[in-house]
Structure 1
Amino acid sequence: MFEAGNHVELSFGSVSPSVSGTGPGSAGASTPTGNVAQSYTQVGAAYKRQLKESTSIAIIFDQPFGADVNYADAGYALSGSAASVTSTGLTLLGRQILDEHFSVHGGLRYVSVKGKYNRPQTSLPAYSSTYSSGSGTGFVVGGAYERKDIALRLAVTYSGEIDLALPGSAGSLTTTFPESFNVDFQTGIAADTLLLASVRHVNWNGFSLNDDDPNAGTLVKYDSDVSTYSIGIGRRFSDQLSGSLTIGYEAAKDEKVSDLGPTDGNVSYAIGDAYTLENGVKISGGIRYVDFGDAVTKLVNATFADNSAVGLGLKIGYTF
C-alpha cells in the first residue's frame, strides 16, 4: 500500500526444512524419527491502484497458513502419522491519506483452507480424514505515521479472527484462526541507509483444531501466544541497486509441543538484494536461514534438536 502510484507484483518462495529427532520406537527402544518436515513452495501476488492523490486500493493474494508433516520412517512409534494443510487468502484493502503524516488503511480478508490427517494406533485410536475446503472472512484495520524527510514510517495493522469449518471424510473440523497485530517501522539513520524493524504478535493461546469425531478429538492445541521480532539494515548502493541484512527472533515457549509441529521458537538470518531496471521493473531476491529451537513433543515425548530450514524468495514488481 505504500508503493508510489500504481503497482503490481508477483512473488515466489521455496523452503527446505530439516526437522528430525528421536523418540520411542515400535519396539520401545529410542529410534530416530527421520526428517518429518517436507519442502514446500509459496506464491503471492498483489495489485495496487491509485484512485486519487490521497486514496488507493489493493488486492492481495497469498498462502497464509500451511503444514506438511510426515513420519515416514519405519520402526518409529508414530510411523504413518501425517498431516498436510494448504490455504489461500485474498485481502481487499483501501488506504486514505489524512494529511502530510497520517494515513489509515483497512478492508476485508478471505481465507480458504483444506487438508489431510492420518494417525496410526498409539495410546489413541487410529484415525484418518480428508478435509474439504472451508472458508471464512475477517477484517483488517490499521494506520501509519510518516516523515518523508527522514524516511520514517511506523505502520500498525490489526487482523481479526476468522472462523472456519471444514467438512471431512470422517469427522468435520472446526477452528478459529486467531487475531494478530503487526508493527512495521523504518527510519533513515545515515545517507542511503535505513533501520528496519517489525513485530508480529499472534494470539495462539487457546487455538485448537477440533474434529467432531470422538476418535479424533482435538488434533492440535496451543497454550501460548507467539511474538516474532526482526531488525535489520537496508542500504541503497545506487539508484538501481539496494540490499538488506535482517535478524529475526521468536522466543521459545518452553512447553511441550504438538508432534505435528515439533519445534519451539527460532532465530533467523536473511540477506536480500533488489535491482530496479530503467523501465520501472524491480527484481528482488533473498535467502533466509532459520535455526529452530529444540522441543519435546506431547504425545510420545520425542526430542527434536539441532533443526533448521533454508528459504529462497524472488519478487518481481512494476510501478506505473
Structure 2
Amino acid sequence: MKTRLLTVAALLASTASAHAVGLDRSGQRIGILFEEGNRVELSFGYTDPTLEGTTQTNPAFGPLGGQSIDNVGDSFLIWNLGLKYDFNEKLSFALITDEPYGSDVFYPGNPAASLLGGTGATVDSFAVTALGRYKFNDNWSVHGGLRYQEVSAGVTLGGAAFGATNGYSSSFGSDGDVGYVIGAAYEIPAIALRVALTYNSSTTHQLPTSESGLPVPSLNTTSITEVDTPETLNLDFQTGIAANTLVFGNLRYARYSDTVVAPTGFTGLTGNPLTDLEDGYDFEIGIGRRFNEKWSGSVAIGFSTVGDDNFVSPLGPNNGSRHIAVGAKYDVNESFAISGGIRYTSLGDAVSSPGGNPVADFTGNDAISVGVKFAYKF
C-alpha cells in the first residue's frame, strides 16, 4: 500500500489550524521526513475566524452592559516550505520552515465608551528546523535535529473593564533562540503502519519591551521580557485498513503553562502577568483513500481540549474547539502533485474575563480554513 495518501492527511492537519490549543498554528509537523524519495513541498493556509460576543448585563457596567461585540478575530495566512533529501537507504535529511505560533485579535470600539474596545494582541513567529532520520531497519528509526525560532508580539488593553490599565500598550521586539527536536518511529511497511513520537523543546526569548499607558509614569519603561515557548509532544499514527485505504491521526500536547509574559511595568502595577495560558491537547483522526492513479481524498475530525472553566483572557475568547476537514490530492504526473483542503472549526463558548472578572460572553463562533500544497519529487 502506498503511503502518499498522507500528503492529503498532512494538509488537513496543517491548513491554518486556528484556535487550537494556546497559540498553536502549524502544529510543528515533520511529516515530510517520512515521505518517499527526495522532494520539495510548499503550502499555504488561510483562516477566516468569526469571534463575536455580547457584554454581560451587570448593574456595575451601566449602559456598557448588553452591548454587541463585533468580530474580534482577524483573518490570517500561514505558509510552510519543506525540503527532504535521502543520502542513502538509511539516512535522510529535512529542512522545514513554518510559523508555529500566532495570534490576531482586536476588539473594535472606543476604549472610553465600551468595556473592551481597543483591546488587541498580535503574535508573530518564524522557525527553521533541520532534521535527520536514521533507519535501523524496515521497522525502527530515530529522528532529531535543531530548530531556530523567532518570536515577536504586541498587546493593547482598552475599555473600562481594565480599570487603571485601560490604554496600556506593550510592544515586544523580535528575538530568536535555538531548541531541539528528538523522536522515534515504528513501521510495518506491508500494511502502511507507522507510529511516530516527536518531542519539541521549548525556546527562551529575551524580548525587547516598550510599555506605555500605565498610570504610574515610572512604570512606562523599556526593559527585557523573558518568554518561554511551550515544550510539545506529537504522536502521529497511520495504518492501512483495506486496499488503498488508510486511517491516520495525531495527538499533540503543548505545555503552555510555562509560557508566561510578565513585562516589568504591568507586573509591577498589577502583580500579575499579561498571560494566563493552560496546557492542552489537540486530537485528530481521519481516513484517506486512493481512488485511482490520479486522485486521493480524505476526511478528518478532531478537537482541542477545554480549560478548567469558561473564563478566558480577552486576548483569546474561545475555549476549546471541534473541527471537520476534507481534502483531495491530484497527481499531475510522477513528479508533481497538488493537494487542497477545507476545514470548518466550531469554537468553544467562553467568557471574556480580564483579571478573572466576567465581562463578555462569546458563543456560537467558528472559523473557516482553506489550504493548498504543491509537492515536487526529484
Structure 2 length as normaliser, TM-score?
0.81
Q: Stretches of 4+ moved more than 4 A in 1?
A: none
Flag the structure with higher strand content.
1
The aligned residue for residue 362 of structure 2 is 304
Any idea what SS the aligned residue of 2:237 has?
Answer: strand
The aligned residue for residue 32 of structure 1 is 68
Contact 2:39 2:375 survives alignment (8 Å)? yes
Measured after TM superposition, the shift of residue 26 of structure 1 is 7.7
What 5-or-longer segments of structure 2 have no aligned partner?
1-32, 212-221
The aligned residue for residue 123 of structure 1 is 163
What 5-or-longer segments of structure 1 have no aligned partner?
none
The aligned residue for residue 66 of structure 1 is 102
Instruction: Please give the alpha-carbon distance, in whole angstroms, between the structure 2 residues aligned to 1:17 and 1:85.
Output: 16
Q: Please state if 1:106 is matched with 2:144.
A: yes
Q: Please state if 1:209 is matched with 2:261.
A: yes
The aligned residue for residue 316 of structure 1 is 374
- The CA deviation string for residues 223-265 of structure 1, in whole angstroms up to 9 with x for no partner, is x321111111000001221000000111222421111001001
Contact 2:228 2:258 survives alignment (8 Å)? no
The aligned residue for residue 175 of structure 2 is 134
Contact 2:45 2:77 survives alignment (8 Å)? yes
Further displaced range: 290-299 or 171-180: 171-180
Q: Please state if 1:187 is matched with 2:239.
A: yes
1:12 to 44, 59, 70: 44
Q: Please state if 1:229 is matched with 2:261.
A: no
- The CA deviation string for residues 77-132 of structure 1, in whole angstroms up to 9 with x for no partner, is 11111111111011010000111100000001111011221113622423112221
Q: Please state if 1:249 is matched with 2:303.
A: yes
Note closer, same or farther for the CA distance 1:307–1:94 as it changes in structure 2 (3 Å cut).
same
Measured after TM superposition, the shift of residue 155 of structure 1 is 0.5
Instruction: Please give the alpha-carbon distance, in whole angstroms, between the structure 1 residues aligned to 2:259 and 2:276.
Output: 6
Further displaced range: 17-26 or 54-63: 17-26
Instruction: Please give the alpha-carbon distance, in whole angstroms, between the structure 2 residues aligned to 1:142 and 1:134.
Output: 26
Measured after TM superposition, the shift of residue 279 of structure 1 is 4.4
Instruction: Please give the alpha-carbon distance, in whole angstroms, between the structure 1 residues aligned to 2:205 and 2:37.
Output: 36
The aligned residue for residue 333 of structure 2 is 278
Contact 2:247 2:287 survives alignment (8 Å)? yes
Contact 2:229 2:258 survives alignment (8 Å)? no
Relative contact order (C-alpha < 8 Å, sep 6+): which is higher?
A: 2
Any idea what SS the aligned residue of 2:190 has?
Answer: helix
Instruction: Please give the alpha-carbon distance, in whole angstroms, between the structure 2 residues aligned to 1:95 and 1:106.
Output: 7
1:258 to 313, 322, 345: 313
Further displaced range: 269-278 or 197-206: 197-206
Amino acid at match of 2:250: S
Flag the structure with higher helix content.
2
Instruction: Please give the alpha-carbon distance, in whole angstroms, between the structure 2 residues aligned to 1:10 and 1:228.
Output: 24
Contact 2:290 2:296 survives alignment (8 Å)? yes
Paired-residue identity, %: 38
> Aligned-pair RMSD on alpha carbons?
1.6
**Which structure 2 residues correspond to residues 162-177 of structure 1 after superposition, within 5 A?**
162-170=203-211, 171=222, 172-177=224-229
Note closer, same or farther for the CA distance 1:249–1:120 as it changes in structure 2 (3 Å cut).
closer
Contact 1:32 1:76 survives alignment (8 Å)? no
Instruction: Please give the alpha-carbon distance, in whole angstroms, between the structure 2 residues aligned to 1:272 and 1:124.
Output: 49
- The CA deviation string for residues 2-50 of structure 1, in whole angstroms up to 9 with x for no partner, is 1112110100010000001111568432211211110000011001111
